[in-house]
Structures are given as C-alpha cells and as structure tokens.
Structure 1
C-alpha cells in the first residue's frame, strides 16, 4: 500500500526546513480502529504504555501527569479516552508490533524516496497516540526529528519558530539532560507567531527539528508519532548536552546560535562520549504517578498518594 499520496519537487526541497502537511493513507490499513487499538493495548508491553492527564502548572500549562492504568483492559482504555481527559501513548508500537512494523517500514521507505534523507535505523521509533476530546499536549520540543501522522479525529496543532525567544538554549539543554520531559516554558503571547493547522483525517504534519509546538484536541483523536535521529539532530543534541553540562557544572554561558559548525561538531562528539559515561544521570527527573484510572468517577480518574512510577 502506498502511504503518501502527494509529494512535489518543491516539497522535497523544503522538507526539514519548513512546516509541511501531506495527505496519507494509514487509516486505510484498518489498524487504527477502536477494536484494533484495544487489541494492541492488551498485547503491548505494559511498561511501554503511557497514560497521562493534564495539570495546570503556570509555567507548563497542560503538562502531562502519569496515570496508573492497572486493571483496565484495552477496550476500557479506549472508551475512557473517549469521555475522560487522558492521553495514551503506545510507545514503540510501530517498530515492535508485527502487525504495525510493516507500515512504519513502508513510511520510512517512502520518506527516503521522496526526500533523499535517511534516518538512522537503530533510532527509528513510532508510537500511537489515543487522546480524549479534552486532551492537550503542552508547549514542548522534541529532541528527535518528529513527524505527526494524524489518522482520525479533530486536532489543532500550533508550531512556533525555533529562535531563542521561543526555545531558550537552557530549556533545550534541560530536555537532552533529562531534567524535563520535553516541556518548555510557555506564554500565550507566543501564539501570535505560531503557524496553526486544523488537521483533517489522514494528514501528516512535519516541522524543522526543535520547533516548539503544542496540540489541542477538538474531538477524540488517534495519531501516530514517528521519531528518528538524523545526522543534524545528533550533532545538535550532542552539542547541547555538552553545553548543558558546562552551564550547570562550570557556570559557563555557551550559546548554540553563536557557535560555528566545527565547534558544534567537537562538542557533539564530547557530548555523546559523556552521555555514554553517564554524566547526565544526576540531572534525570523522577516520574511520579498521581492518579489511577477509575471509570466510576466523572473524570475517569482518582487521585493517589504520589509515588515514583514502577511499571
């Protein structure tokens, strides 16, 4: 099955440098229906299923908070997502599940054929998102090259510039060091500079690496997120990792925008070496569970005493 149904020479030249949308045919696979997703949730490794709700942190509005789904079947989770305020990420389903892996392989093959760009095979991942009408994805930045393959539902996506004003170096360093889970401080005034997309069914949206973005659902939604590492993203992440350690341990004030390509490459090599040595471990945040799924509550959630995620 051909997945991408349109790609022009102009779009090929702009890929990775501009925000773009394309029609696709993932929905025709039959793998994103309620029944198919319920079966996937039942068989997928539980430690690779994230269930979250949103909080009201003033600096990180709608930040995700982990929910314990223990005891819920796949069908129940899909139904709760339709009426509650939760967001489910079936992590790595596209690259590990035998039913879904051929779709992801085909998508990468078509991207390579259409763009000439190659993603590092060992770093390819694809997760499936099932999210409530009230769900929101907070203002954040992905350290990987990320493509959002929306399949069904009504979803509005805000994509912001990659400049220091919208993504401070220190905030991105916090992401690659593990201090934050991709969240970046947000102000409503940023929206004046955003490009906004109301995605119809079966639409791919992609943007330049490190573009901050946020998502507001307008109905029950099912999407696939594809993440990969490219040469450019690996260089940036390694250099920013190194810069983050310099800032935190030596009070330095390194800058990404003011550095040259040779400096960035040297820092990238150093950063990747230090990561392998575990230099970032002191900075990794803990993931606390604060709710459990509870179909008996109007919100479908019950609070629990906070504990570090162990599932």
Structure 2
C-alpha cells in the first residue's frame, strides 16, 4: 500500500504531538504541488481565502508586514514575483476551494491515525505557503496541532518551549481571543533554548501544542504545506485559554487554574461559549490586516500601493 510518510519509526508514534519530530514524506512528488498545478490553483483562488504578505527578509532589521492582492497576474506570474523576493503567499482553506486537496488531507490524517495509537483528530485544515528566498516568518504561535511540510526549496525553523518566558500566558490568551497569531514578544536570547531544524523537500516537522516558532527561508523560492488538527484535549485547552483571556482582559481577573476537567473547567467552558455569541467576539475579530497593495507587472514596480480595504 502506498504511504505518504516515509521511514516512520516507533519513536515517531510515541512522540507525535508531544515533541518536535522531523519525518520524511513523498508529497513533494505529488502532481498537486507541481508549479503547473499551483499556478492553476492560484489563478482562481478567492481573495477571502488567501493572504499575500509583503514581509521582511533575513538580515532586515525593520519588521515589514503588509497584506496585498495578486491583481490581474496569472498564477505563474505570481510565483515569479514571489521568487523575485520579499513576498509570502498563504492559500488557506484549501479543502473548501479544491476537493482534490481535501481528499489528500483525509489520506494524511487516516495514515497518521493508523500509525499513532489513540490519535483521534478532527477539524483538519490544509494550507499552502509560497515564499521568497530569504523571507522569514516572525516569531508566533498557533492554536491547533500543527505540521509543516516542505515541498520545494529549503528553510530553517526555530522552535521554542511552550512556556514562560517564550510563551507568556496573557499573550497566548490574546491570540485565542483575536485569532491573530503574530505579535508575540521575541528576544534574541530566546535562541539559546531554541531547537533548530533545516527542512528540505520531502521532510515535514511537527511539534508540541502552542510551541512558538519562527522561520527563515534559505536562498531559493520555498513551497510548503501546513496542516492543522484538533483533538478533544486540544479543544479543551483552547476553550480554557479563551475563558482565561476573557477573565483577564474584560474583568481584570488573573486566572490561576488550567485544569481540563472538573467543575472549574466546565464553568469556563460556559463562559467562553457565551462570549462567542456576544458583541465582544465580533469586535475582537474585526482587527484584521487591511489590503493596501497589489502586485505590479513591471520589474521596477513589483508593489503598487492601493487604497486600503479589509477582506471579510
């Protein structure tokens, strides 16, 4: 039987979801991830499901983070612009845009379920990241279980402990409340505790829940895929984090308990469920990065400023 993972070991089964793991895969050979296939995908991708980011590169001290649109460029032209530098394209919610990627996503998690005893996940999502040589993703943390799959090019991933001071609890709560994963405070001395992984095509990396990380591309166009999932434990952790954020930010109460079971947990679960139905939730989620540029055709004007607007 054909498999997606390669060279799987018993250590991978034991460490899945609780420690950083680098595992081989064959998705870099899949036709869905060829440049031809990706060019066709980009050309018809709805703007509400993609983020085109102008970002700083390795060596730049000033943090740049602007959102744009692809304009009237073809998918292949968009890839060429990204290869020229300074850009990052994230294609989100692939499974709802193209059914073929959803079929592949289900194959991935079906195989993981077979290989990892007790791994029962849901809420699977998939995204594609196409980024420029030397582009970097700033220090951030994700809420669901995560994996990063390298398809083309190479990159360096820095993983940090999911604990103070690398992940202050108030900052994780803010991410849970707003849905904005960037904004964590990063200090260069954090690197002393970082685990560093170089990913090349045919390798994927997964790590413990909420572990902060940052990414630096090497000197070529990078194409990666991200997958995310939820389990009952991850879902409970998210509910608790949201409730603690509500208590801290809206009521000035410093939460102390992080139990995932018992009466205290269910009280917080009810609190966060009510908040999601409140005007507070809508106000927090309105804080979205506006689109303020589009890609230009000329080599001398790759970025064209436009009046800012927000994509809902």
| TM-score, reference length from structure 1 | 0.90
Partner of 1:259: 258
SS in 1 for 2:32: coil
Partners of 2:22 and 2:98 in 1: how far apart? 27
Partners of 2:62 and 2:180 in 1: how far apart? 14
For 1:104-115, what aligned pairs fall within 5 Å after superposition? Answer: 104-115=105-116
Does the CA contact (< 8 Å) of 2:290 and 2:310 recur in 1? Answer: yes
The runs of 5 or more residues in structure 1 that have no matched partner are: none
Q: Displacement of 1:45 after TM fit?
A: 2.5
Partners of 2:92 and 2:179 in 1: how far apart? 20
Partner of 1:291: 293
- CA spacing shift, 1:26–1:61, aligned 2, 3 Å: farther
Does the CA contact (< 8 Å) of 2:173 and 2:241 recur in 1? Answer: yes
Partner of 2:176: 176
Partner of 2:101: 100
- CA spacing shift, 1:95–1:310, aligned 2, 3 Å: closer
Does the CA contact (< 8 Å) of 2:160 and 2:194 recur in 1? Answer: yes
Q: Render the CA deviation track for 1:236-282: whole Å, top value 9, x for unaligned.
A: 11111111111112111114xx5333334542343234224454222
- CA spacing shift, 1:138–1:265, aligned 2, 3 Å: farther
For 1:265-276, what aligned pairs fall within 5 Å after superposition? Answer: 265-276=266-277
Partners of 1:176 and 1:127 in 2: how far apart? 20
Partner of 1:136: 136
Q: Displacement of 1:205 after TM fit?
A: 0.1
Answering whether residue 164 of structure 2 is matched by residue 187 of structure 1, we say no
The runs of 5 or more residues in structure 2 that have no matched partner are: none
Partners of 2:3 and 2:258 in 1: how far apart? 42
Partners of 1:68 and 1:27 in 2: how far apart? 27
Partners of 1:192 and 1:290 in 2: how far apart? 37
Partners of 2:292 and 2:62 in 1: how far apart? 17
- CA spacing shift, 1:199–1:93, aligned 2, 3 Å: same
- CA spacing shift, 1:206–1:165, aligned 2, 3 Å: same
Partner of 1:213: 213
> Which has the higher mean CA deviation after the structures are superposed, 188-197 or 287-296?
287-296
> Which has the higher mean CA deviation after the structures are superposed, 36-45 or 157-166?
36-45
The count of aligned residue pairs is: 303
